[in-house]
Structure formats: structure tokens, C-alpha cells
Amino acid sequence: MKLSIILVNQNLHRPLRQAMYALKQAIQSLDAELIVVDNASTDRSVVMLTDEFQDVNVIQNIKPVGFATAVNQGIKASTGDYVLVQSPTVITAEDSLEKLLAFVEAHADTGGLSVRMLDAEGNFIADSKRAMPTQWIRFFGATGLSKLFSKSQLFSHHYHSGWGEEFENTETDVLNNCFMLLRRSVLNEVGLFDERFKAYGQEIDLSYRIRLAGYKNFYFAKTFVIQQSVPPVSKWSWHFIKHFYGAMLIFAAKYLLKMPELKLKAMPRWSAPAYEFKQ
């Protein structure tokens, strides 16, 4: 099996249906499987999948679990050489997956890959080239943890410089968890998603572990996917505060005493580096 595509769904029946039809078109010429981990949905998601996508492997959770746990369920059930973790709100262009796989296979040092994302009106979504969230930058600066990353400037306030090019393939520190193509052999080496991160931060942790192992994460700009709009999460809710800021504490506790200094190498000739670094 070449590719396993994993979607974690929770009460997103309508966007999930559109995402599934787009994926069915995109994998027509690929040796691929579709896996949906339904996280105790109370809408028509499971009924829709059963009625319209009988060849899809549906893993149904009776009770909700954290995002990282749900993704790991899908990865453990999959068999592909590559694993795509995709949000149910993303619509994949028909030739996107073939282009992404061709890039990864041509660059053996690739651990993970994100892609150019557009909104429903065709506007570029800046988070496609995902940088560290501002709140994380401030937290690590305030606690002194940013010194651990001084060589790579992972948490530098100047990190965004040079990130204006939408159509340039670049190396990136953090993969976007709405669309992450991962090499299974790298996952076998660095481990799956850390399930202590319930809702936020799991992609930051995995992206960092991939780079610590000597692989590179890339933003691929030569194709696109469409991100459907969904109701925003309230940043004043207890769920957001608990899991978003709690993820920072988990990350800090995990790496505070043993995080090695991360140095970035120059990019290949096909693309310029996405960030500055010191020798």
C-alpha cells in the first residue's frame, strides 16, 4: 500500500462528505486507503459514511478521545508507506496527492510535508506556512526556554521574515495539522503523536521530533487544497484555555532538561531556506 489517508471526524458531517468525495477522485490512480476515525459524533457522520463510502475503513469511538489518540488509532490501523493526516474540512485537488508523493519520493530526507491551503474564495491561508503560535513564542521567551533554540531561531520574533512567498517550496519548522503527509519509516523511528497533547501542540511536538531525528519538514507550494470554513473555537472557553496553554506546559516539561540544540542545514538548490540561522 502506497498511501493511507486518515481523517478524524467529530460532528462534521457536511464538510466530511465533501472531503471524502474529493479524496475518492484524488486516489483513483493511487494504491491508497481511506480511514475515518469518528470521535463519538452525534450527527449523521457514521450513517453517511456507511451509506455512501462502503470501502472506507471507519473506526468508531463510543466516547470522545483526544485528537492525538484518534490519529494514532488510524495510523495503527493503516498499512501505507506514507500517512496523510487530513482534516475533514479540507478538500483535496484531484492531482494534489500525486504531486506530493512525487516530491517526497524525490527527497529522501523529507520527514513530513504540508501544502498550500486556500479558503473557499481562493485566498491564501497564511497558516499553510505554519510558524510557531505567538502565544508559544511569548511563553518560551518568558520562561527562558527560547535560549534552547537560539541557533535555529525556532521561537524568534524574527521568524516570519522571508515567509511572504506563497508559491515557493520551503523548509518549515512546524507542519500544519490540517494536512500532514508523513513518511511511515520516519514515524516508526520517532514515534507516533504524543497522546498527552489532547487538542493542541501535537503537531509541534511531532514536527520537532522529526527534525531532531535528522529529517526535514517542508511546505509544498506547487499544488493546493481548499480549507472549508468552520465555526471558530472560542479562545475564552475553558476547553481552549486548558488544552492550548496546557500543551505549552507539557512541551516545556518534556524537553526542558534534555532538549538538544537544533542546527539547521542549508537547503538544496531547488529552494532557498525558510529561515535564518547562525553558525
Residue 153 confidence (pLDDT): 44
CA 36 to centroid of chain Cα atoms: 16
Predicted local distance difference test score (pLDDT) of residue 275: 36
Structural domain contains residue 262: no
pTM: 0.83
Specify if 201 maps to a domain. Answer: yes
Nearest CA to 78 out of 193, 184, 176, 198 is that of 184
Number of domains composing the chain: 1
* First-to-last C-alpha distance (Å) of the chain: 42
How big is the chain by its Cα radius of gyration, in Å?
Answer: 18
Residue 191 lies in a domain: yes
Please report, as a single letter, which amino acid is at residue 138. R
Do residues 91 and 225 touch, judged by C-beta distance below 8 A?
yes
Q: CA–CA separation, 62 vs 166, rounded Å? A: 41
Residues with pLDDT less than 70, the chain: 130-132, 140, 143-165, 230-239, 243, 256-279
Domain hosting 185: range is: 3-130+163-231
Residue 148 lies inside a defined structural domain of this protein: no
Domain presence at residue 149 = no
Separation between Cα atoms, residue 186 and residue 211, nearest integer Å: 10
Q: Rounded CA gap, 120 and 230, in Å?
A: 11
